[in-house]
Amino acid sequence: MTNPEDKLMLRALKGETTPRPPFWLMRQAGRYLPEYRKTRAEAGNFLDLCYNPVLAEEVTLQPLRRYGMDAAILFADILLIPDALGQPLAYKEGEGPVLDPVRSVEDLKKLNLEFIHTTLEPVYETVERLSKSIPDDCTLIGFAGAPWTVATYMVEGHGSKDYVHIKKWAYGDPEGFGQLIDMLVEATISYLGKQVEAGAEVVQIFDTWAGVLPDDMLRKWVVEPTKRIIEGLRRQYPELPVIGFPKGVGGNIIDFVTQTGVTAVSLDTGTRLEWAAREVQSLVPVQGNLDPILLVNGGPAMEARIETIIDTLGHGPFIFNLGHGIIPQTPPENVEKLSRLIRHRLT
C-alpha cells in the first residue's frame, strides 16, 4: 500500500515540484471512449448513469485502465445539485442540459435544501466504492460546480451565449439573486463535505462561466461564494486540498487565488504561461492548460505544446491537465500519446 503522502498529485498540491508532473484530464470519462458509450447505453439516460454507483464507478475507472492517470475524478455532473434541490432537469441528446428556469425569489420557493442528500446519496456511494477500487498511487477527486456557474444553468434554463436572464437578475435584484447563491453555497458545502467523508481526497470547484462577469461582480458572485465554501469545508476538514477553476477570468485570477483560500488553481487555455509561472505559481500550485482541441488534433502540434507547458510550469508545483474538458471528438490514441509523453518524463 502506497503511503498517501507519496501520491504525486497530493505532493504537487502540497507545493512540491515533483520529478514529473502528475496528470489527469478534465472530463476524462466520457463519450470519446467506446466503453463509456457502451456503459452509458446500458444505464439508459445520463442522470441514471450518475445515480448508479456501480456504473458510475465503472466509467470513472475506464480512463484509468487505459491511461493510468494520477487522479480519478468522481463521475457525476455539476447539475446534480439543482436536481437535488428539486428543479426539473433533463439532458437532451445533442442539446445538453435543459432545466425549468428559476428567475425570481418567488421561483426559489420551489427549491428545497433540506432533502438534497436523499437524491445525492448514490453519489456518495460511488465515492466510497472508488476510494477502495482506484490504484494505490491514484488520488480521488470529488467535485462540484461553483454557485455562479450552476446558477447560470438554473436561471437561463440551458447553456447560454449571453447570460441575459442571470445578469439581469444579478444586476437588478442583487438581494434576491443573492438568496439563490446563498442556497447554492450551503448545498455545495454540504455536498462536498459528504464526498470527503466518503473518501474524496481533493475537491475541485468548476467555475466554467466565471469569465463572463466584470471584475466587481466577479468578486461578489465568484470570489466571495467560493471563499465561503472553502471556509465551510475547512471548518470540518482543515487540511482539505481544494482546486479552483475560474475559467476565463484573465488577470483577475490573482484576486481569486489570494482571496478564496484555494490550495491550487486550474489555468484555462488562454492563460499566458510565462506570466502564470511568475505571478500565479509563486502563490499556489497550478494545473492546466493544454487546449482540448490540440488533443483532438494530436501529432507534432500537440506534442510541441505539451513540451512548452511542462518546460514553463514544470519547475514549480504543477499538475498537467487541459484548459477545459475533453470533447467527444477526441481520438483515444491521442490521449494515449499524451499519457506516454508525460509518464516518460519520470526517468
Q: Does the active-site annotation cover 278?
A: no
DSSP secondary-structure letter at 3?
-
Q: Does 73 bind ligand CP3 (CB under 6 A)?
A: yes
Residue 236: how many other CB atoms lie within 10 Å:
12
Adjacent-strand bridge partners of 71? 139
Q: Which of 35, 77, 182, 255 binds ligand CP3 (CB under 6 A)?
A: 77
The edge-to-edge listing of strands for the beta sheet with 318-322 is 71-73, 139-145, 202-207, 242-246, 264-266, 286-290, 318-322
Minimum distance, C-beta of residue 207 to ligand CP3, in the bound complex (Å):
8
Q: Does 228 bind ligand CP3 (CB under 6 A)?
A: no
Q: Does 237 bind ligand CP3 (CB under 6 A)?
A: no
Q: Which three cell numbers stand for residue 12?
A: 504537487
Q: Which of 12, 26, 222, 335 binds ligand CP3 (CB under 6 A)?
A: 26
Of 27 and 194, nearer to ligand CP3 (C-beta) is 27
Q: How many CA atoms lie within 13 A of 70 on its CB side?
A: 24
Q: Does the active-site annotation cover 67?
A: no
Q: Does 28 bind ligand CP3 (CB under 6 A)?
A: yes
How many residues does the structure list for the chain?
347
Q: Does 32 bind ligand CP3 (CB under 6 A)?
A: no
List of E strands, 45-158: 71-73, 89-92, 96-99, 139-145
DSSP secondary-structure letter at 23?
B
Give the interface segment with ligand CP3, choosing from 75-83, 131-139, 162-170, 280-288 (CB under 6 A).
75-83
Strand 89-92 relative to strand 96-99, pairing: antiparallel
Q: Which of 78, 85, 233, 242 binds ligand CP3 (CB under 6 A)?
A: 78
C-beta of residue 242 within 8 angstroms of C-beta of residue 262: yes
Q: Does 143 bind ligand CP3 (CB under 6 A)?
A: yes
Minimum distance, C-beta of residue 69 to ligand CP3, in the bound complex (Å):
10
Q: Does 31 bind ligand CP3 (CB under 6 A)?
A: yes
* Helix, strand, or coil (residue 140): strand
Q: Does the active-site annotation cover 11?
A: no
Q: Does 287 bind ligand CP3 (CB under 6 A)?
A: no
Q: Does 40 bind ligand CP3 (CB under 6 A)?
A: yes
Query: Which amino acid is located at 256 in the chain?
Result: F
**Cβ neighbours of residue 304 under 8 Å, at least 6 residues apart?**
none
Of 77 and 107, nearer to ligand CP3 (C-beta) is 77
CA distance 160 to 100: 14
Minimum distance, C-beta of residue 5 to ligand CP3, in the bound complex (Å):
25
Q: Which of 82, 97, 241, 244 binds ligand CP3 (CB under 6 A)?
A: 97
Q: Which three cell numbers stand for residue 263?
A: 490550495
Of 43 and 170, nearer to ligand CP3 (C-beta) is 43
CA distance 55 to 206: 23
Could you say which residues in the range 147-186 bind ligand CP3, by CB under 6 A?
159
CA distance 49 to 56: 6
Number of residues that bind ligand CP3 (CB under 6 A): 22
> What is the dihedral sign for C-alpha 294, 250, 12, 17?
positive
Q: Does the active-site annotation cover 235?
A: no
CA distance 122 to 126: 6
Of 277 and 342, nearer to ligand CP3 (C-beta) is 342
Of 7 and 40, nearer to ligand CP3 (C-beta) is 40
CA distance 142 to 319: 16
Minimum distance, C-beta of residue 215 to ligand CP3, in the bound complex (Å):
21
Q: Does 69 bind ligand CP3 (CB under 6 A)?
A: no
List residues binding ligand CP3 (CB under 6 A): 26-31, 40, 46, 73, 75, 77-79, 91, 96-97, 143, 145, 159, 206, 208, 325
Q: Which residues are catalytic?
A: 27, 31, 40, 77, 153
